[in-house]
Amino acid sequence: MIAPKLAALLLISSVIAGVIERQENRDAVGYTRVRCSGRARPISLDSCIGRYPEEGDGIESISVPDNIICQTYSDLECGGEEVNVYHSACINLAAGDLALRCILA
């Protein structure tokens, strides 16, 4: 009788911990296809990422959570003209978006 109650308590605490962890670790994610489909690729914060890597598929869309802002640039070093700013959505990247940098909002 004690074992099922203990198992239930452990299961509930694991679920709660998982929900809290997912909320704290919301990252921007790049996808190889439009509408945030295809292969997912996490986007590191505060680093410039080229949209079209030398190997592998390019990033066609990004999923940006509420706590992050992603800026796209017209050059590969994120030093040129800022093209677009994305936040709080799944976004298909524009043709002129050659590189991106995501930061905490």
Full-prediction pTM beyond 0.85?
Answer: no
Range of the domain at 82: 28-104
Q: Does a structural domain hold residue 16?
A: no
Q: Does a structural domain hold residue 83?
A: yes
Would you state the pLDDT for residue 59? 96
3-class secondary-structure state, position 58: coil
Q: Does a structural domain hold residue 90?
A: yes
Would you state the pLDDT for residue 21? 40
Task: Give 47-55's long-range contacts (Cβ < 8 A, gap of 24+).
Answer: 47/101, 48/73, 48/76, 48/77, 48/78, 48/99, 48/100, 48/101, 49/99, 49/100, 49/101, 50/76, 50/98, 50/99, 51/93, 51/97, 51/98, 51/99, 51/100, 52/98
Would you state the pLDDT for residue 23? 44
CATH code (residue 97): 2.60.20.10
Would you state the pLDDT for residue 12? 56
Q: What does each of the 105 residues of the chain score in pLDDT, given as a tens digit?
A: 565 554 454 545 554 444 444 444 589 999 999 999 999 999 999 999 999 987 778 999 999 999 999 999 999 999 888 889 988 889 999 999 999 999 998
Q: Does a structural domain hold residue 72?
A: yes
Q: Does a structural domain hold residue 5?
A: no
Q: Does a structural domain hold residue 46?
A: yes
Q: How many domains does the chain have?
A: 1
Would you state the pLDDT for residue 88? 85
Q: Does a structural domain hold residue 4?
A: no
